[in-house]
Each structure stands twice: as structure tokens, then as C-alpha cells.
Amino acid sequence: MVIKTEPFVINIGPAHPSTHGVFRMRTTLDGEVVVDLEPVFGYLHRGIEKLAEERTYTQNIPFTDRLDYLASMSNNLAYVMAVEKLAGIPAPERAEYLRVIMAELQRLASHLIAVGAFLNDCGAFMTPILYMLREREKILDLFEMVSGQRLTYNYMRIGGVSQDIPKEFLPALRKFVEGMPGFIDEYDQLLAENEILLARSKGVGILSKEQAINISAAGPVLRGSGVKWDIRKADPYSVYDRFEFEIPTGSAGDCYDRYRVRVEEMRQSVRIIKQAMEQLPLGEVRALVPQRLHPPVGEAYGRIEAPKGELGFYLVSDNSIAPYRFHIRAPSLMNLTALRDMIVGWKLADLIIIFGSIDICMGEVDR
Amino acid sequence: MTAVLSAREVASKLDKKFPGSIVESTENHILVKSESLLPIASFLKTEPEFAFDYLAFIAAVDYNDYFEVVYHLTSLEHNHSVVVKTRCYGRENLSLPSVVGLWRGADFQEREIYDLFGIKFEGHPNLKHIVLWEGFKGYPLRKDYIQW
């Protein structure tokens, strides 16, 4: 006997533990199979692009903390680099090294959350993520040392960083980078070949290379699909051209590859931090910048490789003290475009994993 | 390093292929007529010399007299980039051709510009509110937007 079933619409979110924020997926199901999906967002829209037009360039730095709140340092860096490009202000060398150290620590912290939350979504409830949070805590302690904050650091400044590192910082950082590779190995040994993880994520939610490029995907989502594209190598900013590191890529473009790329990137970040610590020069950490900075008429696009992908700020100046236009190129928003393609045809239970593998942050999507 | 292509040189090549479609070109950007945006974008994407397969972002800017929409194009193959701009004049019934058919990455960004600037993108498959709620009046990112 053939049972006739009708497509069934189900709302996942906006407040659902696995949507990683206030995000809604309007899902059409045929039995258990997802036949259509529409992402609905905007619940966290604060109009940062509009607010920024009424504040000075320096006053806008704390706003950028609140975009991708799991990677505030990276957001700060992308924004101040765009302003520096617009106004033609070079940052001192020591500041550039500190920026690289902070950005790479931030990448570690963000990826720890990403892989921890991903395993949470896979069904390894809470155990892996607590180990990740333990390690992330050490990074937050380091950030607290330099900026006094644990989430919204507001550490970068136009023309440098807000203050030099305290004398306790480097010993603590050295201790951290010596312990971190061991932690990644230990954790990788436990999870990389884990049967549950393999069964649930291998071959699931495939995003082809062509699709990934076409939807402007960035970061681990793009590299997981086998595209060797990392702004740190492709268009080196700050002092990234002075360090040796690899760009890990996946091959199949499935959830497992995206997960692997993040784990490998963590190893590379530790490598970069080690080199930056060795090379760290002495000197000033902040260039002299006028208090009422008014860059010449023009526009600039500054971009960095944030943990989630290409993060850029497109600024237009009309020679006043506030930006005329402040546009944020948020990697999470672009990566979300791929969601429908990846999920359609998979079961409802896979939806959560595929969504978790993108690693989005709603603060950045809605702005 | 990502090579920033000289927009003047790209524009002179485009001008041969699409005469009269370039309004102006500086060292940094090419300004094209809105009606010829789609053929030019398609040419820039498919021509092997340029191969702009990756749309970095789209942004709209309100210059009071006109709206400017900026397309940052990147080629992952050649590692070079160029900036293409187009304008639409007036404040009402603004429309531009949609590039979603070429770069799917434009999908949410065009919806966002439609939502916050009120520029319609002809040919967009699902042009509706994205960050604001249904029934929201006005376009907040315009310079003449007054709250309340």
C-alpha cells in the first residue's frame, strides 16, 4: 500500500539551542527528508552600519566587537586596517606583531567554540565542548591581561593597539603555546576517527568547489571544499608574509572536511604565534593619530582572514570625522547562502549538523 | 598579493567589446551604465583573461543625488581584483539588474540593499525583507531617513 504524504512545514528556531543564536529555518519536510529550506534572520539587527555613520572613526571600534562576538579581536583588526588604509596611517612594527598574535589567539578561541559546538550538534553532548571551553578560558585570560576584557576587547586602535602587553603576558603566552599542540593532539586522537563523528559527518552536506566559489563562501567553508584561498597568503596584510604556515584544505567539501580544516588551522595558528613571539620587536605600539581624525575624501576596503572567513570593511569618507558609509562584509552572511544547497535532500537530523558545520555567528549576520 | 587591476585598462578593453557602456574609469574603479551592468559582469566572469569568479561583496552608498552600487570582484584563479560601480538616479522606483544569476553570493546582499536602500534588483528570485520586518516603512540606510 502506498501512503500519500504531504509536505510539512516546520519552523526551526528562532530560539532553538542548535541555531547558535536567534535564527529561524523555515523547513519543508517530506517525511523526514528536507525538500526546501528558507533561512529567516534579522532578529539581532541593530543597524550598526547606520549607527556608525554618526560616530567618529575611533568611536566605531567598540561596535565592531559586537559583530562576531566570538572573534572581537579579528573584527577590531579588520576595521582599524580599513581606516588606516583610508587615512594612510602606518602602524608601528611591534603593534603589527601584537595584532598578529591577538588575531591568531582569537582564531584559536573561535575555532575551539566552532568544533566544540559542532560536536555538540553531532550528539557528543557537552563533553567535548567543555574541554574546548577549558582551553578557550586560557586564551580569554591572556586577552584579559592585555585589554581588561573577556569578550569585547576593544584592543586595536587606529595606528596600533591600545596599550603594550604587560610583562606577565609573554611568559603566560609561552606556557599556553607549549601546551596547546599537545591538547590538539590529545583531542584529535579522541575524536578524529570517532565512529559517531565519521558516520554522522562524512559525506554529509556536500558543497562542491564551484558552488563554494559561486556563493562567495569564505574561510573553512571555502577551504573545506578544496579551494586553497586564505587572505593571509593570497593578499598578506600586517606582517603575515614573515611567517611560515600552511593552508589546510579539504577535498570532499562535507561537514567532516570543514571540521578537519578548523582543527588543522588551530595547529597552524599555534605555529604563527610561536614565530611572532620570537620575532616580536621592541618599540612603540601606537602611531600618533589626530584625535579628530578626518581621512581624505575617498574609499577603502580593508579585509582580513577572520576565523569565519573574509571579513572586510568598506569605508567611504567625505573628509568629516565620521564615516560617510560603513559597510561590513560579514563572512557568516555569505556562508549562510550555501545553507539551502547543502541541506536539501538530507534528513532533518542532518540539518542540525550541516548548519553547525558552517559556524555562523548571528551578531555578524544581522549586524 | 592580490593584484589590483588597473581599472582604466580593464575599462578600455570593455569599451571595445561594449561601446558606450562605460561612463568613467579611474585607476581604482569602473563606472558602468546600469543597463549594461549585466553583460559586462557576465563578460568579466567568463572571459578567461579576467575570470572574476568570486564576488567579494556588494555595497550601496547614498550620495543624495544618486545611489551608487559597488561590486568588488575577485578572481581566485588569477588572484586579482577590480571594482565595478553603477549608479541609479532619483529617490523613487529605483531598479538595477540582479547579478544573482552570475554569483549566487549576491543573493542576501541584494536583498539587504533592497531592504535598507529601496533599490529593486530585477530578476532576483526572492526579493523581500531580510533584516527588517514585513511592513517596515522607509529605508534606514538612506541619508534622508528620519526615525519615527
Q: How much is the pLDDT for A324?
A: 92
Mean pLDDT of A243-247: 90
Nearest Cα neighbor of B117 from A300, A49, A328 is A49
Q: How much is the pLDDT for A111?
A: 92
Q: Which residues contact B17 (CB under 8 A, 6 or more apart)?
A: B43
Query: What single DSSP character describes residue A3?
Result: P
Residue A314 has pLDDT above 90, yes or no: yes
Lowest-confidence segment of A5-9, A24-28, A168-172, B94-98 by average pLDDT? A5-9
* pLDDT digit string, tens, across residues A252-279: 888 899 988 999 999 999 999 999 998 8
By the CB < 8 Å criterion, does B79 face chain A? yes
How confident is residue A32, by pLDDT bands cut at 50, 70 and 90?
confident
> Which tops the pLDDT comparison, A191 or A161?
A161
Phi, psi angles (nearest 5°) of residue B10:
-60, -40
Mean pLDDT of A136-151: 90
Mean pLDDT of A246-255: 89
Kindly report the nearest CA distance between residue A142 and chain B, in angstroms. Answer: 32
Nearest Cα neighbor of A60 from A21, A86, A94 is A86
Provide DSSP, A223-271: HHTT----HHHHS--TTGGGS-------SS-SHHHHHHHHHHHHHHHHH
Residue of B nearest to A232 (CA): B1
Residue A5 has pLDDT above 90, yes or no: no
Residue A313 has pLDDT above 90, yes or no: yes
Kindly report the nearest CA distance between residue A298 and chain B, in angstroms. Answer: 11
Query: Model pTM?
Result: 0.90
Residue A13 has pLDDT above 80, yes or no: no
Chain A residues with CB inside 8 Å of B54's CB?
A: 213, 216
How confident is residue A201, by pLDDT bands cut at 50, 70 and 90?
confident
Kindly report the nearest CA distance between residue B17 and chain A, in angstroms. Answer: 25
Chain B residues with CB inside 8 Å of A47's CB?
A: 140
* C-beta separation of A154 from A163 below 8 A: no
Q: Which residues contact B72 (CB under 8 A, 6 or more apart)?
A: A301, A314, B55, B56, B57, B58, B81, B83
For chain A, domains (ranges, CATH) are 47-366 (1.10.645.10)
By the CB < 8 Å criterion, does B51 face chain A? no
* pLDDT digit string, tens, across residues B95-141: 899 999 889 889 899 999 998 998 999 888 888 888 888 888 888 88
By the CB < 8 Å criterion, does B131 face chain A? yes
Spacing of C-alpha B56 from chain mean position: 11
What is the domain partition of chain B in residue ranges?
3-122
Chain-chain contact of B79 with A234 (C-beta, under 8 angstroms): yes
Q: Which residues contact A132 (CB under 8 A, 6 or more apart)?
A: A112, A113, A115, A116
Kindly report the nearest CA distance between residue B107 and chain A, in angstroms. Answer: 7
* pLDDT digit string, tens, across residues A226-242: 888 989 888 888 889 89
Q: How much is the pLDDT for B148?
A: 60
CA A90/CA A73 separation, integer angstroms: 19
* C-beta separation of A183 from A136 below 8 A: no
DSSP β-bridge partners for residue A311:
A304
Residue B1 has pLDDT above 80, yes or no: no
Query: What single DSSP character describes residue A68?
Result: S
ipTM of the complex: 0.90
- What percentage of residues in chain A have a pLDDT greater than 70? 100
Element (H, E) at A328: strand A325-329
Q: How much is the pLDDT for A199?
A: 84
| Identity of residue A323 | P
Question: Mean pLDDT of all residues in chain A?
Answer: 88
Mean pLDDT of A187-214: 85
> Which tops the pLDDT comparison, A20 or A47?
A47
How confident is residue A110, by pLDDT bands cut at 50, 70 and 90?
very high
How far lies B70's CA from each of A123, A237, A330, A348, B59, in Å?
43, 23, 16, 38, 5
* C-beta separation of A358 from A337 below 8 A: no
CA B21/CA A296 separation, integer angstroms: 30
Q: How much is the pLDDT for A2?
A: 78
By the CB < 8 Å criterion, does B56 face chain A? yes
Nearest Cα neighbor of A91 from A142, A152, A145, A156 is A156
By the CB < 8 Å criterion, does B107 face chain A? yes
* pLDDT digit string, tens, across residues B20-34: 778 888 888 888 888
CATH number of this structure's domain B3-122: 3.30.460.80
Residue A89 has pLDDT above 80, yes or no: yes
* pLDDT digit string, tens, across residues B51-79: 888 998 999 999 988 999 999 999 888 88
Chain B residues with CB inside 8 Å of A316's CB?
A: 61
Pairs of residues, one from chain A and one from chain B, whose beta carbons lie less than 8 Å apart: 74
Query: What single DSSP character describes residue A132?
Result: H
